[in-house]
Structure 1
């Protein structure tokens, strides 16, 4: 994704880029995303599943909490949350967390090349409040516990026993995103004064040992940043977020996504999407609901975030109007879909299949408003290449 990195370089020019940070910090590099018509056109009427979609898109129910996944013997978990897709030959696997306590864990559904369910299995059990997580380049799923001094568990959608990765720190984990260029894993923390971390494995591809670091920056919404080692990743007696002076506080870290030297993450306490430009170690706002114009902000209750093969970001709402909104590379935001009749739920786990023509996600509490009412969907259609 080029996004604002290209715009910044072309507008400021090489001479301006050389200015000292003290001058640069006060300059507005690029406005956060603003309202615009959807590239897919307006939403139509609710379909049989209660989902409003643009023309050309269709939805289907893949699984329901407490019920057997059709064509398998697996009972789908309650409170489906963060998810990801993995290529599996001509087909793929969709992995989904379970945000319940006790129990938690994660499950996986295998699809063939036509998108039909082939099998399903549990890949993690006996954990607590597994909220979001992240996919690794070596095809494992990092399932994160959203509890005080929670763990990250590395799970194996293609087979194998899950492993607790204590070296990645003990805190209220939310999401993870792998950066294969810098060979690190970014981590969000769901606290009102949470921090943004990265884990630097001693050996890339092996998460059993490494260094946990925290982002250090000023109090503004843009500027430069650096990383500092967290002295005690175990977080006891002093929480990891309180160990490094100058580490930047974020209000309720949620989803996290990496692509092309950029990592984005959401903060639910202030309805923001943050952007770290990793090539030059600067940060800025990609979205802020208080800065949207014209009209009202389409995205509130920001939560999970993913990216399409075409470079668009898709951000799911926890509450709000139960929408998934899209932000284009030229910083325009619009509503992609809306779920009707499920106002006591939240949208979780958005993830594209490898071809980029199917988007999986869940309504965590469905129409019942209870964790036992979760519904996992797939939307198929002409997504932008």
Structure 2
């Protein structure tokens, strides 16, 4: 069999498989609609002003590619933030076309280094909901968040009534199933990072929704307003090989480092960096655990290292009387972004509030205490402008 014939047969089989899959999807969802109990059919949602049903396509119905072996970050509590996004590309108005787009988005996500499709849920122009990573996996933007993406580009595309209604229904389901907190906030994608998503036409719509929080505006202010500490459990830390000594709190010093790695700007990137740092500290340095008390990511989140209570392994001779905080990245020529600095300041404020830091604590750069470039020239100059910085060496 020559190569051209083989390719032709392969493409034909792929098209046939796709067609069969769509027929199964249609049959399965129609059957499930007919077999709903009266209570399900009379849900108040189905009596809304649009009088339309929205089919929910579970990932098992459209999935094309296996998830990569490394784990995603699972939710440990109901989500506090819903991020509304657009996928980019064109809209879709039929199950067949929407399934094709969802599969394409999954393929692109994996080729970009993610373990699976990047969105928790997607909503098509057909008014149906396509389950991505679902309710139980954190958005890669920030902890305790999920994202909902409208398929299309909404700087010029327009949402249909059915799409709007599907999104609002999905949010009601999240509340009813305790997947969202009662006081969750809803934000546009461009409030969490520099992007055009979700597009002006989506933005005009969501600002009218009940849980929308318009106070969180701008890339730098959004994450800093939503201070988060990502626990060891959430970033999948290895257990320490030994238990460290307890600190005698409150401690008088906060010592700042940089990690001398690449920076990170999303939950997925920062989680990966923190895991790599722990692995280096434990396997190359033969330490019991990650050396820092906390790490601050460029996503504006704080990552728990040894925490407030245990002695770190970051600054020889000072570990017993200090908290060591590392900024993820290398800051020799440029200082960290505003959201990263804001997260650090909130962290030390929390330390004072909880009684782990003295009220008149002092901040030092690691280079003031031993022969190192850390925390980098630019970051060192920055901390020297802060009220708690101490001019000692």
Q: What TM-score do you get using the length of structure 1 for normalisation?
A: 0.21
Larger-Rg structure: 2
More strand, by proportion: 1
More helix, by proportion: 2
Q: What TM-score do you get using the length of structure 2 for normalisation?
A: 0.21
Structure possessing the higher relative contact order (Cα contacts under 8 Å, 6 or more residues apart): 1
